[in-house]
Chains A and B, each alone.
Chain A
């Protein structure tokens, strides 16, 4: 399991736009770089990131090797109802990671 950080408010007013910042520990090896032995290191990147809000897709991203190591993605969403946000990262070599965060809407 890679270490993932999600920064977002725990509570929000209904209709408020909240900012969500995500960071995950991942090398994002480009596949263009030689390693210590001179051979090109195989590509190992995260391709896709999704955010579901109560099982509705609200944001997604396609990442390419030009995204820096430990991908940071910040976006926003409208707080509609109390619920759970699910974040999924998936990539090369069968990498998938899911994190959840709950949001209380008043």
Chain B
């Protein structure tokens, strides 16, 4: 076997492994969202996931999730969850609110291990679920240096 064949095979194997893990992560992400939605269909819309599209430092990324809701006793947001595709764990944070929140807006700071897709899902009091996904590019990844 020639040297270039060996290198070619190695590159091929590595890319297959990478693709498989990306696909597995996407499946895990879908499963995590499904678990949160509790069987309800998740529709795009009503949720605004505010995060910079280009992140310089993955160690602390400010994010804000806003949901369009009257936040009344009969119609309010029960929970907001943030999921990611390529961190070691799919869950980022879950927030539980109710009519006493007044406004369905939460902000926090998160870590991103690499450039990836983030999804925010809101669960309403009527059981419906709404989402917004965002793709972010990360220049300096979290969890690399100690």
Interface residues of A (CB under 8 A from B): 17-18, 21, 30, 32-36, 41, 53, 56, 58-69, 71-78, 80
Shortest Cβ gap from A65 to chain B (Å): 6
- Choose among B60, B97, B143 the residue that contacts A59 (Cβ–Cβ < 8 A): B97
Residues of B within 8 A of A78 (CB): 100-102
List 11 additional contacts besides A56-B100, A60-B96; criterion CB under 8 Å. A17-B103, A18-B102, A33-B143, A58-B97, A58-B98, A68-B60, A68-B109, A69-B59, A73-B106, A75-B95, A78-B102
Contact B102 A72 (CB under 8 A): no
Bound complex: CA A55 to CA B6 (Å) = 67
Residues of B within 8 A of A53 (CB): 100
Query: Could you list 29 examples of A-B contacts with CB < 8 Å?
Result: A17-B102, A17-B103, A30-B88, A30-B143, A36-B146, A41-B146, A53-B100, A58-B98, A59-B95, A59-B101, A61-B96, A61-B108, A65-B89, A66-B84, A66-B93, A67-B108, A67-B110, A68-B109, A68-B111, A68-B142, A69-B59, A73-B106, A73-B108, A75-B95, A75-B97, A76-B102, A78-B100, A78-B101, A80-B100
CB contacts under 8 Å to A, within B99-140, are: 100-103, 105-112
Main secondary structure of the interface of A (DSSP, over half): strand
Contact B91 A64 (CB under 8 A): yes
Shortest Cβ gap from A17 to chain B (Å): 3
Contact A32 B143 (CB under 8 A): yes
Contact A71 B108 (CB under 8 A): yes
Q: Is B51 an interface residue (CB 8 A)?
A: no
